[in-house]
Structure 1
């Protein structure tokens, strides 16, 4: 999924973004550092598959995780680039999340962002 428009505010903390690079990414430099560090720690300490953590990190970097309420509930874009789901660190409305057998990469992305 390629974004054509940037974000005026950081997707993590809500502060105004000033640089073109930050606007394109959707995160300020400090929040981006924190999210990347949280992704690294999550990948090393969780029991999640490395592929799932990589997909979650990619979702975050592409701006596919948009906060809805109190920066704890997010709207996420599916792999097809069209379908959206609501997710939080505890649950997700995607088919994999509803089955509950494994943690979906949407939830992993929410866990990373909320832990950062």
Structure 2
């Protein structure tokens, strides 16, 4: 009997349960992300940006590449953006204009988790 395994998108640990493999996050990491989403100050973001940030996390379309640095995929999947939570910056069009984008909101949530 073979078991499908994968790595948690947050901590990199081995996932073996079918549910965790499908979600991309282990039970503990998923709980930490949910808690961080409630604790992080997202007041500067619009409701649709928060929803898109949560979707980005659920789809595992944002990953940490180094401390405070994340790589996020654009909505259409054609471009990758660099997000820096320490500098509160993103390489997307909105971020380059100094605006807060949903990529940064997602990275802030993951950084708090």
Q: What TM-score range do you get, normalising by the shorter chain?
A: 0.7 to 0.9
TM-score where L is the length of structure 1: 0.82
Q: 1:27 aligns with which of 10, 25, 31?
A: 25
Q: Which structure 2 residue ranges, 5 or more long, are not aligned? A: none
The root-mean-square deviation of aligned C-alpha atoms, in Å, is 1.9
What pairs with 1:1-116 in structure 2 (closer than 5 Å)? 8-42=6-40, 46-70=43-67, 72-89=68-85, 90-100=88-98, 102-116=99-113
Consecutive aligned runs of 4 or more in structure 1 exceeding 3 Å deviation: none
CA distance in 1, matches of 2:72, 2:62: 5
CA distance in 1, matches of 2:38, 2:47: 11
Report the structure, 1 or 2, having the larger strand content.
2
CA drift at 1:88 = 2.4
Alpha-carbon spacing, 1:24–1:36, altered in 2? closer, same or farther (3 Å): same
Whether the 8 Å contact between 1:85 and 1:94 is mirrored in structure 2 is yes
Larger Rg: 2
Whether the 8 Å contact between 1:7 and 1:26 is mirrored in structure 2 is no
Instruction: Say how many residue pairs are matched.
Output: 108
CA drift at 1:7 = 7.7
TM-score where L is the length of structure 2: 0.84
